[in-house]
Every structure is written in C-alpha cells, then in structure tokens.
Amino acid sequence: MEPAAPSPRRKWVGLVLRVVFTLACLGYLAWSIPLEDFLGALKGIRWPYLAAALAILGLNQPLLAMRWKTLLDAQGLRLPFPQVLRLNLLGLFFNNTMPGQTGGDIVKAYAAAKRFPGRGTAAVVTVFLDRGVGMLGLVLLAGIVSAATGKASGTILGLLGLLLAGAAFYFSPLKRRWLTPERIRRLPVGGGILAEVDEAILLYRDHKTAVVLGILWALCNHTGYILVGTFIGRALGIPPEQVSFPQFVVIIAIVSMIGCIPVSIMGFGIGEVAYVKAFAPLGVPEAQALALSLLTRFCLIAWGLLGGLIALLTRPREETDGEPQ
C-alpha cells in the first residue's frame, strides 16, 4: 500500500497560507522601516566588498558539490565531479526559483535516481542526507565559534545536542533491536521504501570517514557563506567593532535555520524579519539589517540563475539525445 498523495486542494491551501504569511512579514517590515531609511542604507554601499561576497559565493559551489560527492561515493554511487557540480548548480537554481527552499533538492534527487537504476532510493537518500549533514555542520560551526569566544549560545548548543543525540540514537544497537528492517518492511504504508531508506542510511555506519569528511566540507561551505554575509555587512558600513565575525557566525546560523521553517515562500519575509530582530541587540539599524538580508538573498538568486544557465549549457549529450544514462 502506497501513501496517498496530498489532494490538489490541500496543496493550494498550503500555498495560500505561505503567501499570506510572506505578505504579512513584508507588510510588517514596510510598516516599521521607512523606505527612505532603507534606500539610505543602500546609498553608500561599498562595491568591492559586494564583489568579494559574490566571488566567495561562487567559490563555495564546488565545495558544496564535494560534500554531496563524498556521500555518493560512500554508497558506491560513482558520478564524475563535473556531473555532481552540474546537478548541484541545477539544485541551486530551483532552490531560488521555486516556492519553499527544498525544490532544488527534489530536482537533484530525481536526476540522481535516474542515473542509478536499481539504486534510486540510495541516490535520493544521499541528497537529503547531504542537507542534514549541512545543517549539522552549520550548527557545529556556530557552536564551536560561540564556545571559543566565551559567549556560548544556548540556542545553538541546545540544537547541536539534539542533533547529535538523535544521530547517536538512530545508529545505536537499542534502536536496531526496537525497529528492525523486518518491522519497517511490514509497516502498512510505505514499508518497503522506508526499509530501503533505512538500509541506505545505515550503510554510513561502515563509512564513518565519509561522514566526517562530509561534515568538514560542510564547515568549509558554511564558513564561506558566513563570509558572504560578513562582506555584505561591511559593504553596508557595519564595522567589525559593532558586529564581529564570530557574531556573524552565530546570527547567520540561527537566521538560516529560521529561514528553513516552511511557512513562507522561499523563506522570504520570515528571513528578513529574523535578520532585523537578530541584529537589533548589537545596535544595527533595522534598515541596515534589512538591506543585509535582501542583498544576501539577491546574491544567492544571482548565483542560482547563473547556475541554472551553466547547468543548461553543460547538459550531457546523453540527456540531449534523450538516452538513459
């Protein structure tokens, strides 16, 4: 028995609620931040810092591809790096052009599954596990930095503890005795698929090096992303003595996680409100924090569009001819 697909009506209701929430957040920002203040924050922008942010964001893309390739290789799913990078750029494009922030993951998962007939479930698992490893890397980076500076964030350390405890339980013998593959397979809804997913995830018990490498790649990825936010902050005139790099690390980590909550369109609106509220205690004007959020988002969109163009222009001949890979 397969799980029932959500009804079209339910999908439309969910989309309408997201649109309403997004508009409510944007309405709040428009009401609380005068337009002239926002334009004033953009007026004296330092373009070399903004150019550096765009360059770092571009350099980050091969690192993201390496993180996913590490997880693919551990499953025995060999895909040349240029193809992994292309699919990653394609995912970046859809993440920034589709409602929600996981549209690119769905496209990557579908494309990866097509490339590995008979191992499609394992290929899909790597995509969403890559997202999980990325989240763990982000929280870990924020936890390390906040602890090293003597200003440990309770929110970050709490999330890190939950993630590590959840992973430890999942791979523990206790969980294996309680929820065996046979029991998963006998579940009335999607048991067979869930058993395949469980088997693919458990494979990483024997590939701990790949998981560690994936986390290290994630630390590099998120360091680059936070440098992007830091450079954009400097471009807007936020000085280091007001917001230091370690403070950017913690704030951007928390805001990024808030932006992943699926209550708005592409995290738009809720992310901007989170930036404004998170930087306020450091004395950053609301208009400046809003400009920081929007410029960061537009840089991501610009690279997403460029990534989509690169992915289209580098389309493999097999896909162009319509032949299976």
* Mean pLDDT along residues 300-308: 84
Number of domains in the chain: 1
Share of the chain above pLDDT 70, in %: 90
Check residue 76 and report its DSSP letter.
T
In a domain, 57, yes or no: yes
In a domain, 109, yes or no: yes
Give the tens place of pLDDT for each residue, 175-206: 777 777 777 777 777 777 777 788 888 888 88
Give the tens place of pLDDT for each residue, 246-277: 899 888 888 888 877 777 777 788 889 999 99
At 57, is the secondary structure helix, strand, or coil? helix
In a domain, 113, yes or no: yes
Query: What per-residue confidence (pLDDT) applies to 160?
Result: 77
Query: What per-residue confidence (pLDDT) applies to 226?
Result: 92
pLDDT range class, residue 38, cuts 50, 70, 90: very high
Task: Report DSSP letters for 189-204, one per residue.
Answer: TTHHHHHHHHHHHHGG
User: Could you list the residue range(s) of the whole structural domain that residue 292 is in?
Assistant: 47-314
Residues 6+ positions from 257 with CB-CB distance below 8 Å: 135, 138, 139, 159
In a domain, 156, yes or no: yes
